[in-house]
């Protein structure tokens, strides 16, 4: 006699976050995307709802990329040197439904563009491509405090996902996101307690928990992936058990982490597989948005997601 499958039911649910606003919603995006909304652990379709598939975004810089692997640059061709053309290729050729614009050119060491220049570029970018948008800073906290409010205002009413807020530097970005109608990325250094505390601090400023997406700071395959996986799993277990301060979707910057690995640089196919396997593992741990670099890895993971959800339906 076959032993019946034990199904676990949870009292909590992951927040649903919408990225992008169409004309009917006050923006200019061609469509909007929903992430989150799960009432079970990842991909356990019989235990609860998994209403929204993980979303893939291509990473695009506001300047020509300076530290991308040669194989990634080759996949896009010389057009990668023009960010607007690069973005169009991602959407038109590789069918991206979501883009992640990194304002790397505002970093003091990579062009030091002014807030005014950054805002102008964001406006041009939004005019050129119509998919929903994630906007992230350069990683220099003091400069991002000047640049990101300008970028947020330039994208007002487009309901972007803007980042990243960190524990020691979240107030300026939170205020801008709150004023301009966006959602926020809360970045924590692979630490569930800091992730929870940061969400509380941001929500205390008036931004609803339902507009927060957690960046748990992942590692690539072989470079801390298993630790990131366990942190994400612990956060998801706490959220489904009823802890609303951790009930946020996850965003994972897969491309930048995977292509840092020395194994990814061994040969082109291995680099693509390193990014693919990093992403597919993170989907198992609950990733809702995965920011990718190589088009082949993007396609591989997109097909993997479709297969998973076809099996679960």
Whether cis (ω within 30° of 0) applies to the bond prior to 233 is no
Helices (H) and strands (E) in the chain, counts: 10, 10
Tell me whether residue 37 is in a domain.
no
Residue 13's nearest CA partner among 286, 249, 247 is 247
Tell me whether residue 55 is in a domain.
yes
Tell me whether residue 6 is in a domain.
no
Tell me whether residue 180 is in a domain.
yes
Tell me whether residue 290 is in a domain.
yes
Q: Across the chain, what does the average pLDDT equal?
A: 96
**What token pair was written down for 110?**
């990579």
Q: In sequence order, what are the residues at sequence separation of 6 or more whose Cβ sits closer than 8 angstroms to the Cβ of residue 109?
A: none
For the stretch 252-281, pLDDT in tens is 999 999 999 999 988 889 999 999 999 999
Residue 162's nearest CA partner among 136, 142, 186 is 136
Assign 1 a pLDDT band (cuts: 50, 70, 90).
low
Query: What is the total count of domains within the chain?
Result: 1
Mean pLDDT, residues 210-222: 96
For the stretch 109-153, pLDDT in tens is 999 999 999 999 999 999 999 999 999 999 999 999 999 999 999
Tell me whether residue 10 is in a domain.
no
By residue range, what is the domain housing residue 155?
51-312
Count other Cβ atoms within 10 Å, centred on residue 274.
27
Assign 5 a pLDDT band (cuts: 50, 70, 90).
confident
Model confidence, pTM: 0.96
Q: In sequence order, what are the residues at sequence separation of 6 or more whose Cβ sits closer than 8 angstroms to the Cβ of residue 178?
A: 205, 206, 207
Q: Is the pLDDT of residue 66 over 90?
A: no
CATH number at residue 70: 3.20.20.20
Tell me whether residue 113 is in a domain.
yes
């Amino acid at each position: 006699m076959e032993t019946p499958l034990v199904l676990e039911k949870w009292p909590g649910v992951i927040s649903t976050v919408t990225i992008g606003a169409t004309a009917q919603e006050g923006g200019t995006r061609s469509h909007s995307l929903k992430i989150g909304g799960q009432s079970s652990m990842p991909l356990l379709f019989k235990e609860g709802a998994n209403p929204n598939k993980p979303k893939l975004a291509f990473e695009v810089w506001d300047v020509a990329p300076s530290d991308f692997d040669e194989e990634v640059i080759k996949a896009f061709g010389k057009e990668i040197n023009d960010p607007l053309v690069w973005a169009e290729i991602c959407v038109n050729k590789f069918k991206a439904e979501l883009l992640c614009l990194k304002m790397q050119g505002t970093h003091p060491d990579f062009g030091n563009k002014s807030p005014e220049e950054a805002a102008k570029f964001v406006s041009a970018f939004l005019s050129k491509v119509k998919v929903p948008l994630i906007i992230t800073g350069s990683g220099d906290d003091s400069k991002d405090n000047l640049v990101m409010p300008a970028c947020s205002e330039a994208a007002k009413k487009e309901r972007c996902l803007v980042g990243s807020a960190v524990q020691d530097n979240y107030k300026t970005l939170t205020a801008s996101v709150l004023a301009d109608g966006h959602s926020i990325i809360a970045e924590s250094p692979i630490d569930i307690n800091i992730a929870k505390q940061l969400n509380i601090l941001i929500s205390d400023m008036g931004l609803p928990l339902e507009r927060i997406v957690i960046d748990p700071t992942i590692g690539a395959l072989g470079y801390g992936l298993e630790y990131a996986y366990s942190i994400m799993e612990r956060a998801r277990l706490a959220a489904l058990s009823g802890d609303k301060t951790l009930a946020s979707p996850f965003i994972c910057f897969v491309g930048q982490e995977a292509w840092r690995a020395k194994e990814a640089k061994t040969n082109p196919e291995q680099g693509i597989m390193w990014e693919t396997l990093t992403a597919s593992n993170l989907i198992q741990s609950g990733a809702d948005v995965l920011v990718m670099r190589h088009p082949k890895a993007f396609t591989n993971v997109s097909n993997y997601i479709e297969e998973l959800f076809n099996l679960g339906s």
